[in-house]
Amino acid sequence: MILEGKKILVTGVLTPGSIAFAIAEAAQREGAEIVLTSFGRVMSLTEKSARRMKPSPEILEMDVNQQEQIDAVAETLRERWGRLDGFVHAIAYAPADALGGNFLSAPWESVETAFRTSSYSLKAMAQSLAPLMREHGGSIVTLDFDNSTQAWPVYDWMGVCKAALESVTRYLARDLGRYQIRVNALAAGPLETMAAKGIPGFEKFRDTWSDRSPLGWDTQDRAPVARMACVLLSDYATATTGEIVHVDGGYHAMGAEMGHEPKD
């Protein structure tokens, strides 16, 4: 078990169909002790999902847009564990008027909300939680959708925020490397999640992704992403930081549709 004895915090667990849920379950199977976070109206969803895990993890209240709540979680973990080996940042949100073809018309207030929640929050969490990893090192993993070099249909300001998230990942890797804290982004292909349903036109990604992926792509299978997250959290990746690790069937590396032929 590659996470045996690790203490891991996982954010973003909503339904059992969420990527964060798959990561949390996989981390448990690999020997990690985990704690989840949630807040407000979605807390009941997280609680219901947590009951399906074995063992059922504790849930701490944390709104990433409230620094005092992040600090409170850090203090709770300090008292309980005395350390942290890593955390998973699986948080993103953009108001509806910043998505779905509204790039030019989106107001600053919506863009600001999207950026703070989806990008700045990674820095906010690292600021409070990194001190729990300084003595022994650790790993921070965030969930990305690769937007460094291209624009996507309907993704609009969330695409800009994901590009910013990748940059935040690199700058955190720069500043935290002295403590042997690694920071990496996991760029997954499109998966059928509650978050995906909130993106108008998500089917544009879902229905065509396999056409360009040499390995193919199953939008229902979260296991490949969860397993890679566990690798990045583990001591198998001690020299990897500042990376955008793709788990997308190879889509990102292809210049056009594959024109798949039958297997021999």
Biggest alpha carbon–alpha carbon distance for the chain: 59
What is the distance between the alpha carbons of residues 151 and 115, in angstroms, rounded to a whole number?
Answer: 17
Catalytic residue among 155, 179, 197, 204: 155
Give the distance, in angstroms, between the CA of residue 133 and the centroid of all CA atoms in the same chain: 19
What is the distance between the alpha carbons of residues 251 and 241, in angstroms, rounded to a whole number?
Answer: 22
Q: How many CB atoms neighbour CB 220 within 10 A?
A: 8
Q: Which two tokens stand for residue 82?
A: 């005395």
Catalytic residue among 120, 162, 171, 179: 162
Contact present, 168 and 122 (Cβ < 8 Å): yes
Q: Helix, strand, coil: what percent of the chain each, to 5?
A: 45, 15, 40
Please indicate whether residue 155 is annotated as part of the active site: yes
Contact present, 219 and 159 (Cβ < 8 Å): no
Contact present, 115 and 161 (Cβ < 8 Å): yes
Q: How many CB atoms neighbour CB 103 within 10 A?
A: 16
Please indicate whether residue 162 is annotated as part of the active site: yes
For residue 59, give the H/E element and its range: strand 58-61
CA distances from 179 to 121, 141, 187, 232, 233 (A): 21, 16, 25, 17, 15
Catalytic residue numbers? 155, 162
